[in-house]
Homo-oligomer: A and B are copies of this chain.
Amino acid sequence: MQVLRRVAETQRLSERVRCAGERIALVPTMGALHRGHRALLAEARGRADRAWVSIFVNPTQFDAASDLESYPRNLEEDLAVCREEGVDVVFAPSEEELYPAGAQTWVEVVDLSRPLCGAARPGHFRGVATVVTKLLLATRPHLAVFGHKDHQQLAVVRRLVRDLCLDVEVVGVPTVREPDGLALSSRNVHLGPETRRQARVLVRALRAAQAAGSGGEQRRDVLLALVEREIAKAPLARLDYAELRDPDTLEPAPSRLSGPTLLALAVRFPCGEGRTVRLIDNCVLHPRAAEEEGT
């Protein structure tokens, strides 16, 4: 396994691999690799000749300095995971390498960056779009693998790849969950035992809405009220948002759902010293018209 620090050497290697006719799949990460990342790596290995990983805690996508500081970092453990998973190349640049002195260029995916997590985290998706562009251009993969857990991020990346003429296939991988349903996240380490237990409300709320949707419930407001009631069952949970939107454009869903619809949640839990940890989760509802409506 090669660990590369510099953009130029990474580009040279990518060109050699590409010209040898081999396909590269990149998994962009911020490190703190967990089983969710292992699923992305398995997807990468299965779809390409070479599995590459980038590890870079991107400062420009953090809206709070405390969140950036507390983000878990352990390169040696991450490299051990990469070795176990048969990764060929780890690209782990310094901050200076991706943001050289005087850097001032931003990539912005305007409409998709506004709602949901973008509303609560100004500048977050501009930081994501900018760093993903840099990482894709530094590594030049044939495909890039992202988790569906960060649905909005995936939508932003798909859009920027299309809009900027990046010849990269974007692959989404289903969210990996703990046995009780909690979506894996590097931020779960901040949960204490009680908040960890209560954090199950996110997936419970999603499943309640899915069940209602499959049962014929198509009314947006009824589904959202159901979700809010589920979240309220966890006394420590503070709902940040629960929204129904188009999975691709992120446009608000109509008052009566008519096709696949994203249900996206963000919930805060206290994690000591007056701080909170913000968890997100989502699913796509496939509302089925109730029988009396003629289907």
Contacts and interface: CB of A to CB of B under 8 A. Distances in A.
Interface string A150-185: 000000000110111111000000000000000000
A107 B105 contact: yes
Nearest to A160: B105
Give 7 nearest A-B pairs by CB, closest first: A105-B163, A19-B19, A137-B165, A138-B165, A104-B110, A105-B160, A11-B167
Contacts of A104: 109-112, 159, 163
A7 B138 contact: no
Interface string A3-29: 000011001000100110000000000
B163 A137 contact: no
20 contacts: A8-B167, A11-B165, A11-B167, A15-B18, A102-B159, A103-B162, A103-B163, A104-B109, A104-B110, A104-B111, A104-B159, A105-B129, A105-B164, A108-B108, A133-B164, A134-B163, A134-B164, A134-B165, A137-B166, A138-B165
Interface residues of A, number: 34
Nearest to A101: B162
Contact of A163 (B100, B162, B167): B100
Contacts of A167: 8, 11, 137
Instruction: Work out how many copies of this chain go into the complex.
Output: 2
A133 B164 CA distance: 7
A45 to B, nearest CB: 23
Nearest to A163: B105
A106 B107 contact: yes
A160 B134 CA distance: 11
Nearest to A110: B104
